[in-house]
Amino acid sequence: MSTTGAKVPPSDIFAPGGHKPALGPCAACAARQLAFCNVLEEDDLGQLLKIMTETSAAAGQAIFYEGDEASSVYNVTEGVVRVSKMLPDGRRQITGFLFPGDFLGLAHDDVYAYTAEAISPIRMCRFKRGKLLDLFDELPHLEKRLLGMAADELAAAQDQILLLGRKTARERVVSFFRLLAKQARKRGDNGNPISLPMSRADIADYLGLTIETVSRTITKLSKDGVIVLPSSNKVVLADMDALEAIEMGEEG
């Protein structure tokens, strides 16, 4: 008979788990409830802390580049990170914007397949990849949580593939705004108005469009009255039903 202790609850293995009293730097961490470490109790969190380093970066600074040796995994705790890939001739595709709670750097290969840069001042928790993988043997919850988050990312990537492959510019921009609102709500903001911490160039490279098309499309949405623009990086989602209809391609 095994004496290894309590069984893992069978079904909601992937669930985010409740917020427990935290330790050291984690006590004040705003991303604690969202991040992959949220499945850990105080004792186990201590083990994770032992292999963790807190880091920060200024806006515009690179965290790592495509092709760098993939030695670390990161957990964003503050600010926004831009993840992108480039073609040799300079065309850029942003594959995602990462907010507090999101993780970064889970490469299978020994090199990163993408570049990660801060677009605002950021704070992160850094883990040596090998040490984190070793820790999985002692903290199986952590591994399950990471697998769950990877499954989430995969679903998000497929949504993005549908967007890039089949949606019009108008549908893309609206999908993007609604995604930002949803993510903001998850972080506790009410998500309306949404803020755009990234430039028009970043939005364009995320949506597979040009700066000009993004700008024109936003202007048009504003003229149509479905959004309001208090400033160039704030968007009020004025007509939610219309926006949902546009995202789904159910418009005129």
Partner DNA sequence: CGTATACTTGAATTGAGTCAATAAGTGTGG
Partner DNA sequence: CCACACTTATTGACTCAATTCAAGTATACG
Task: Look up residue 36 and give its two tokens.
Answer: 């992959």
Q: Name the minimum Å distance from CB 196 to a copy of itself.
A: 19
The answer to whether 215 contacts DNA (rule: CB under 7 A) is yes
Name 242's Cβ contacts closer than 8 Å, sequence gap at least 6.
224, 226, 251
Among 20, 233, 239, 251, indicate the residue that binds DNA (CB under 7 A): 233
Work out what residue 224 binds among a copy of itself, DNA, none; the CB cut-off runs from 5 to 8 Å by kind: none
Nearer to DNA, 3 or 231 (CB): 231
Selected from 23, 30, 51, 147, the binder of a copy of itself by CB under 8 A is 147
Instruction: Say how far apart CA 153 and CA 9 lie, in whole Å.
Output: 23
CA distance 248 to 244: 6
* Closest C-alpha to 15, from 49, 47, 38, 44: 38
**Which residues in the 150-169 window bind a copy of itself by CB under 8 A?**
150-155, 157-162, 164-167
Site for DNA in 147-186 (CB under 7 A): 168-170
Q: Which positions lie near DNA, rule CB under 7 A? A: 168-170, 199-201, 208-216, 218-219, 229, 231-233
Q: Which positions lie near a copy of itself, rule CB under 8 A? A: 4, 7-8, 10-11, 13-14, 85, 87-89, 91-93, 95, 106-109, 113-114, 130, 133-134, 136-137, 140, 143-144, 146-148, 150-155, 157-162, 164-167, 205, 207-208, 248-250
